[in-house]
Structure 1
Amino acid sequence: MNMLVVLAIILLILMYQVGGKNGIRSFISLFLNFIVVLVVVFFMLDTNTNILILTLVAVVLISSINLFYINGMNQKTLTAFAATLLTISILLTLIYVVSQQMAIHGFSEEETEELVPYSLYIGVDFLQVSAAVIVLTTIGAIVDVAISITSSMHEFFEQNHKMTKQQLYQSGVAIGRDILGTDTNTLFFAFFGGYLGLLIWFKDLSYSFGEIVNAKVFGAEMVTIFCSGIGIALIIPIAAALSSVTLQVKHKKSKPSL
Structure 2
Amino acid sequence: MNVLVCLSIILFILMKFIGGEKGTRSFIALFLNFGVTFLTVFLMTVQTINPIILTLLACVVISCINLFYINSVSIKSVTAFISTLITLLFLLLLIFIFVKKSMIQGFGIEELEELTSFTLYVGIDFGKIAVCTIIMGTIGAITDTSISVSSAMNEVYHHHPLISRYDLFKSGMNVGKDILGTTTNTLYFAFIGGYLALILWFKDLTYSLGEVVNSKVFSSEMISIFCIGTGAILIIPITAWLAAYILTKNKKTAVE
**SS in structure 2 of the partner of residue 123 of structure 1:** coil
Q: CA deviation at 1:141?
A: 1.6
User: Residue deviations 1:200-239, cap 9 Å, x none?
Assistant: 1101111111110111111001101111110100000010
Work out whether 1:56 is the aligned partner of 2:56: yes
Hey, what's the Cα distance between the residues in 1 that align with 2:132 and 2:165? 35
Pick which of 92-101 and 232-241 moved more: 92-101
Hey, what's the Cα distance between the residues in 1 that align with 2:159 and 2:224? 39
> Residue 223 of structure 1 corresponds to which residue in structure 2?
223
Across the aligned residues of Structure 1 and Structure 2, the Cα RMSD in angstroms comes to: 1.3
Work out whether 1:121 is the aligned partner of 2:121: yes
Contact 1:63 1:143 in 2 (8 A): yes
What letter is aligned with 1:84?
T
Pick which of 25-34 and 156-165 moved more: 156-165
User: Residue deviations 1:17-46, cap 9 Å, x none?
Assistant: 101111111100000000000001001111
> Residue 23 of structure 1 corresponds to which residue in structure 2?
23
Contact 1:76 1:151 in 2 (8 A): yes
Q: CA deviation at 1:73?
A: 0.5
Normalising to structure 2: TM-score of the pair? Answer: 0.96
Hey, what's the Cα distance between the residues in 2 that align with 1:59 and 1:121? 27
**SS in structure 2 of the partner of residue 101 of structure 1:** helix
* Aligned 1:1-258 pairs, distance under 5 A: 1-251=1-251
Number of aligned residue pairs: give it: 254
Q: CA deviation at 1:138?
A: 2.2
What letter is aligned with 1:193?
G
Contact 1:184 1:229 in 2 (8 A): yes
User: Residue deviations 1:144-180, cap 9 Å, x none?
Assistant: 1101111111111112222222111111111100000
User: Residue deviations 1:114-139, cap 9 Å, x none?
Assistant: 22232212111111111111121221
Q: CA deviation at 1:252?
A: 6.6
Hey, what's the Cα distance between the residues in 2 that align with 1:193 and 1:44? 28
Normalising to structure 1: TM-score of the pair? Answer: 0.95
Amino-acid identity (%): 51
Pick which of 198-207 and 161-170 moved more: 161-170
Q: Give the 4+ runs in structure 1 shifted more than 4 A.
A: none
Hey, what's the Cα distance between the residues in 2 that align with 1:196 and 1:65? 32
Hey, what's the Cα distance between the residues in 1 that align with 2:48 and 2:106? 19
